[in-house]
Amino acid sequence: MAEENLPEPKAALPALQPGPPEQERPNRRIGQWFLLVVAVVALSAALVYVILQFLTPAEDPGAREVPRNERPGLDGVIATEMPPEQLIVGDCLRGFTGPLDLQTVVTCDSSHNAQLIGTFTLEHDSFPGADALLTESEDLCKSVAIDPSAGLDSTWTYHFSRPSQSTWSEGDRLVSCFLSLDSGTVRSSLLPEAEQS
């Protein structure tokens, strides 16, 4: 007996498509190897950079010696970005905002708003404590003789840097004393002429 209404048999798998020509396969492999080599080189460079960052000590901004212009121009600028530890007593400062900041040193007859009026080296055998050090630093700074003709009044404020407990353990014993204007500028030194460097 013949079966009449049976569907025609279908192939179980789709027909195979022809692959890329043989000459394209080597080109694809070369491209893949090239990308792999580039990735390995980039990863190696990044690894070397990270290792060098750990092995190379960070540059201390105060470690570089900032030169002083011995013949400043009309603007009076002697040095810019001067680390506080390189300041000299009598230095007049333009744009002063705090004793630990990098400073612009100018001639005292040019416009400025602060001056380094004195430095003191502390003689204690051990760290005296933050409060005691604050009081001592303030007393030392207020003991500096100011030129009576400088016109020091309430518009001036004392600022000072002093050792912290951590810098004390590293040998820091320096108190640096500054006077700054609350606003405005002056064109003269606060120190008697004999006191200036």
Entry pTM = 0.66
Return the beta strands (E) in 26-173 as ranges: 77-82, 92-94, 103-106, 114-121, 156-161
Q: Of 119, 133, 141, nearest to 163 (Cα)?
A: 133
Q: Is 69:92 a contact under the CB 8 Å cutoff?
A: no
- Would you state the pLDDT for residue 174? 95
d(CA 146, CA 35): 72
d(CA 165, CA 161): 13
Q: Where are the alpha helices (DSSP H) in 56-159?
A: 130-142
- Would you state the pLDDT for residue 7? 64
Instruction: Enter the tokens of residue 7.
Output: 């569907």
Instruction: Enter the tokens of residue 99.
Output: 């004793």
Q: Please report where in the chains the tokens 């049976």 appear, as a residue.
A: 6
- Would you state the pLDDT for residue 17? 62
- Would you state the pLDDT for residue 62? 46
Q: Please report where in the chains the tokens 């030169």 appear, as a residue.
A: 67
Secondary structure, 3-state, 92-109: EEECCCCCCCCEEEECCC
pLDDT tens across the length of the chain (197 residues): 555 666 666 655 566 566 555 555 666 677 778 888 888 888 888 888 877 777 765 555 445 799 999 999 899 999 999 999 999 999 999 999 999 999 999 999 999 999 999 999 999 989 999 999 999 999 999 999 999 888 778 889 999 999 999 999 999 999 999 999 989 999 999 999 865 54
Q: Give me the amino acid identity at 62.
A: G
